[in-house]
Amino acid sequence: MLLSGRGEEEAQRAEAALQASGADWTIVRCAWFAQNFSEGLFRDLILTGEVALPRHTEAIPEPFVDVDDIADVAAAALTEDGHVGRLYELTGPELLTFPTALDVIAVAAQRPARFVPIELEQFAAAVPQEYAGFLTYLFTDVLDGSNATLADGVQEALGRPARPFREYARKAAADGAWT
């Protein structure tokens, strides 16, 4: 099984190599993880009350996917029949911009989480340098609007809809992600 990313040229090459390998395969191609907001860099920014992200992201919607859905699909693919040779494209059930996602988190966490648009260069200079190149790539090549579509991979693989972002945010807040 291969965990892959939407809109990532390198990921598409890895998918093609796996498909050509002759091995049994299942590909799980995912949108941005909802948990990026409750773990790591985005969590730290939310805790400050202001999330400074590249300006162009303000208007680009993304179908953030809950990693619990990804785990459920992976578990099914690894333990159940019928998943070999399948490519599941996983997204959440709705398109949200970063400002809207932060509004949802602010309500769930009962704390401010304001989107602050900045230039890409300012963002790259503000993040830990070991991540700057990768994050710049994500915010330019991957988050360019081309992935602003919904997919039904969770439904295909599990027979149930993907979890909404609001459900993720409520659970993450209840679990203390932003305290």
Among 24, 26, 49, 51, which Cα is nearest to 36's? 51
Q: Residue 124: enclosing H or E segment and its boundaries? A: helix 120-126
DSSP 8-state secondary structure symbol assigned to residue 29: E
Question: What's the rounded mean pLDDT across residues 145-154?
Answer: 96
> What domains lie within the chain, and their CATH numbers?
2-174 (3.40.50.720)
| Average pLDDT for 31-53 | 94
Q: Tens digit of pLDDT for each residue in 45-76? A: 999 999 999 999 999 999 999 999 999 999 99
| pLDDT value for 103 | 98
Query: Are the beta carbons of 160 and 167 closer than 8 angstroms?
Result: no
pLDDT surpassing 80 at residue 37: yes
Statement: residue 40 has pLDDT above 80 = no
